[in-house]
Amino acid sequence: MTSLTNRRTFLLASAVAAPATNLGAVTEPVRTAMIGVGHRGTALTKQVLAQKDVRIVAICDIDAAARDAAQSLAKRDNPRSYDDYRKVLDLSDVDAVVVATPCDLHSEMTVAAMAAGKHIYCEKPIGVTPEQVAGALKAVRGAKTVFQIGQQLRYYPALRELMRQLHERKVVGRIFAIKAQRHSSFPKKPRKRPAWYLDVKRSGDLIVENAVHNIDVINWMVGDHPLSACGDGRTYLPRITPAGERMLDGYSVTYLHENGVHVDFSQFRFHPPGMKRPPNGQWYAVYGEKGGVEAGHSGGTFHDLYGAEGEIELVSPEVQKAKEDAMGKFYAAIRGGPKPLAGIEVAATAALTAIMGREAIYQKRVITWKELGVEV
């Protein structure tokens, strides 16, 4: 058990007897190690540095240049440098780790962090195979420390309000179907990607590595995971990946849910910039008995079934503009605040749904949730 967990138990226990003004006055820094400080890990390092009462005590990466860059970014805290994450987990002055390594390492690092009694903020997806997801689920469920997945959309105020409108106000009534997409234009100069990303065994392929965010939003809208998936897709434009590599650049998946909702999701990376119908970008159209909602990640508009009421904005402009604070909520959970909104169930369900879609595309047949063999 980390010393912070013990210190927190002590501080919370003393807070009970303390005067009301002292309640919640946990000011000790949470000693954090950053593991994997490439593209995303650098952004997360900045987020961690912006937290109150948090100190970055260690930086870990197998790439010396990435380590050096992160060390200078976090020079305020003078972190030590490591190339082996296991050594970091052995450190008694590390309370929490933030992991942004390649996707196939997330599960193993989560299992190890839980065994070492560390809190963990781990990038998505939690695994690229059902076995990896199952391993992380088991480890987190048996642990007392905090686990949060890097599915930050769960913390978007606009999306949270949209879900309230769908679930509590039932704006569309019973949901029948969802049509969603994550389209982008083919870049003139494709971004240089690391080798692990192009190796689908490591990244999980585009649908698992990238669309896991959108697939999670869809599951959130429906309120459960799908029972089956079918779909098709391939590498249509080989320029995106080097010869011999296989990564989808276009696919569509249909998911069927127990409550009868069916979902059509597509991800095309060759949406012509001038093409407006359908538009480019990330969208969700939710169809139900009272009408439909067209939504993005910063809000949504309701249209009644008969077109009688005009369009109704579901999220106020203030909430549309409000920023997410996923990292802040992680540290709040460590200090005894609410459990993460994006915990292990969200992580496992999203990854498994994406994996089910990928396998349906690869195997060209219907894949069922049962076949995945993981109870969430």
Ligand X SMILES: NC(=O)c1ccc[n+]([C@@H]2O[C@H](COP(=O)([O-])OP(=O)(O)OC[C@H]3O[C@@H](n4cnc5c(N)ncnc54)[C@H](O)[C@@H]3O)[C@@H](O)[C@H]2O)c1
Contacting residues toward ligand X, per CB under 6 A:
35-41, 60-63, 66, 85, 100-103, 105, 123-124, 150, 152, 194, 209
Residue 260 — left, alpha, or beta (φ > 0 → left; ψ -120 to 50 → alpha)? left
Query: Min. distance of Cβ 93 from ligand X in angstroms?
Result: 19
Work out whether the CA dihedral 285, 103, 52, 20 comes out positive or negative: positive
Up-side HSE of residue 98: CA atoms within 13 Å toward CB?
A: 31
User: CA of 299: how far to CAs of 92, 164, 175, 294, 359, in Å?
Assistant: 44, 12, 18, 9, 32
Q: Which residue is nearest to ligand X (CB)?
A: 38
Q: Across-strand partners of 284? A: 180, 295
Judged by DSSP in three states, 142 sits in: coil
Per-residue tokens: 184: 């982008």
Return the H-helix or E-strand segment holding 369.
Answer: helix 369-372
Q: In this structure, what DSSP letter does residue 292 have? A: E
Contact 275, 185 (CB under 8 A): no
Residues 6+ apart with CB under 8 A from 282: 181, 182, 183, 214, 296, 297
What would the two tokens of residue 88 be? 């970091």
| Closest by CA position to 249, among listed 216, 213, 200, 283 | 200
Distance in angstroms between the alpha carbons of the first and the last residue of the chain: 26
* Surface-to-core class of residue 223, CB atoms within 10 Å of its CB (0-12 exposed, 13-18 middle, 19+ buried): middle
